[in-house]
Amino acid sequence: MDITIIGLPQSGKTTVFNAVTKGEIKVTSYANAPNVGVVKVPDSRLIELGKIYNPKRVTQAEITYTDLPSDYEKSINGILPRTYLNNLQKADALLLVSRGFDDNSIVHSKGTIDVFRDIRTLLDELVLLDLEILERRLVKLDENKKGVNPEERQKILGETDFLVKLKKSLEDGINISDQNCNENETRLLSGFQFLTAKPLVIVANIGEEQIHSIQDIQTALDDKFNTNRINTSVICGSLEMDLIQLDLKEQIEFRKSLGLDTQSGLKRMIKLSYDALDLISFLTVGDDEVRAWTITKGTIAVKAAGKIHSDLEKGFIRGEVISYDNLIKWGSLSVGRTKGLLRQEGKEYILEDGDIMHVLFNN
């Protein structure tokens, strides 16, 4: 899973990146390449399963966060660098950081601090980038329809009509994720990697002096932007960046002293990332490895097997499935089997979060 962090200059993107990834990247507006950090997803279930199996290794799920530098956000004669768009398009979700903190030594690019104005600016920028993608494709289609056979011409005209309708709706303020598309249109859309079709996490990055107003800011943020495709959060990036360098006990004690939620910014960002992408984890266990695998909600057993290895998907016979709670309660798959809790599930079984699956397959 790849999450790309964007924001206006001096919004504290890199600070949030450090807070999420436990990074120590220098906080500066002059970076000339993306910062990339891989975060291991904390999962207490793996610890408990490790106690049962004592495996050679325990493998957590991972999220990759990419912090795009300010240089990527500056247009050249009104045109954004192609590398900037490429970075956005390859992301599974976008994390938008908006500045809420006040610091006289760091001048805001717009002169004043306004979290909601900046969020709207960023969202409008995503719309403009999608319109640019659509316009380029429409020009290409117009060029391609010359000199082709009637069947190909009809296909081109069909795609053109769809994209023109898409463009009109986008100009009317309807994000691509909110537009009603049939199965064929949805398949066509997937090849474009439109930005307003991607899940979003919006983060208001506040100062320490605003900590006691977090709930009020969160409520206002939810009222304006929280939808089925957008998740929101309020964090103090500078504080979280400092706290994540401490051990867990010290972090919790410090948070309590400030009257904060004891959950770290890292855990909150991971949860928001999972929620935005509609993700869950299923687990595999054994003497060699205990591991968490990330899948989308609604994934069937045969496709989940393919996450482990393509051969398991191709030769899938059935999955032996038990819930995490039942395995922990009874201590082993064999006892789970005698209790009737280890179920035999076919290809179409939809896995649930915390399911433990052993795949039986043909070599």
Q: Where are the domains of the chain?
A: 2-42+61-112+197-277, 128-196, 298-361
What sections of 213-247 are H helices per DSSP? 214-225, 237-243
Instruction: Give the DSSP letter string of 94-122.
Output: EEEEEE----TTS--TTSS--HHHHHHHH
Q: Which two tokens stand for residue 281?
A: 């984890």
pLDDT at 166: 93
pLDDT at 76: 42
pLDDT at 78: 45
Task: Give, as one character, the DSSP assignment of residue 349.
Answer: P
Q: Higher model confidence: residue 72 or residue 8?
A: 8
What is the spatial distance between Cα 305 and Cα 282, in angstroms, rounded to a whole number? 10
The mean per-residue pLDDT over the stretch 154-175 comes to 92
What is the spatial distance between Cα 233 and Cα 189, in angstroms, rounded to a whole number? 29
Query: Beta strand pairing status for 230-235 and 200-205?
Result: parallel
The mean per-residue pLDDT over the stretch 258-266 comes to 76
The mean per-residue pLDDT over the stretch 198-215 comes to 92
**Three-state DSSP state, 241:** helix
**Three-state DSSP state, 185:** helix
Angle made by CA atoms 333, 337, 338, in degrees to the nearest 5: 125
What is the spatial distance between Cα 67 and Cα 87, in angstroms, rounded to a whole number? 10
What is the spatial distance between Cα 322 and Cα 337, in angstroms, rounded to a whole number? 9
| Confidence grade of residue 190 (pLDDT, cut at 50, 70, 90) | confident
pLDDT by residue (tens digit) across 134-156?
A: 999 999 999 988 878 888 889 89
Task: Give, as one character, the DSSP assignment of residue 76.
Answer: B
The pTM score is 0.87
Percent share of the chain, pLDDT over 90? 60
Q: Categorise residue 147: left if φ over 0, alpha if ψ from -120 to 50, beta otherwise.
A: left
The mean per-residue pLDDT over the stretch 222-235 comes to 86
Considering 78-92, 150-164, 278-292, the range whose residues carry the highest mean pLDDT is: 278-292
The mean per-residue pLDDT over the stretch 246-261 comes to 85
Residues with Cβ within 8 Å of residue 103, at least 6 apart in sequence = 207
SS3 content of the chain, % helix, strand, coil (to 5): 45, 20, 30
pLDDT by residue (tens digit) across 10-44?
A: 899 999 999 888 877 777 655 667 899 999 999 99
Classify residue 327 as exposed, middle or buried by CB count within 10 Å of its CB (0-12, 13-18, 19+).
buried
Q: Higher model confidence: residue 258 or residue 238?
A: 238
pLDDT at 207: 92
pLDDT at 233: 92
pLDDT at 64: 93
CB atoms within 10 A of CB 301: 23
- CATH architecture of the domain formed by 298-361: Roll (3.10)
The reply to whether domains 2-42+61-112+197-277 and 298-361 share a CATH topology is no
Q: What CATH number should be reported for the domain whose range is 2-42+61-112+197-277?
A: 3.40.50.300
Per-residue pLDDT at 192 exceeds 80: yes
Query: Beta strand pairing status for 2-7 and 230-235?
Result: unpaired
Per-residue pLDDT at 263 exceeds 80: no
Percent share of the chain, pLDDT over 70? 95
Question: Which of 197, 203, 33 has the alpha carbon at shortest distance from 118?
Answer: 203
pLDDT by residue (tens digit) across 62-114?
A: 999 999 876 544 544 444 566 778 888 999 999 999 999 998 888 787 788 99
Q: Higher model confidence: residue 346 or residue 265?
A: 346
Q: Which two tokens stand for residue 172?
A: 């009317």
pLDDT at 199: 93
What is the spatial distance between Cα 143 and Cα 90, in angstroms, rounded to a whole number? 27
CB atoms within 10 A of CB 96: 26
Task: Give, as one character, the DSSP assignment of residue 129.
Answer: H
Cα torsion angle, 328, 330, 332, 336, sign? negative
pLDDT at 267: 83
Per-residue pLDDT at 287 exceeds 50: yes
**Contact between 58 and 290 (Cβ < 8 Å):** yes
pLDDT by residue (tens digit) across 307-342?
A: 999 999 999 999 999 999 999 999 999 999 999 999
Q: Which two tokens stand for residue 197?
A: 């079709």
**What does the mean pLDDT of the chain come to?**
89
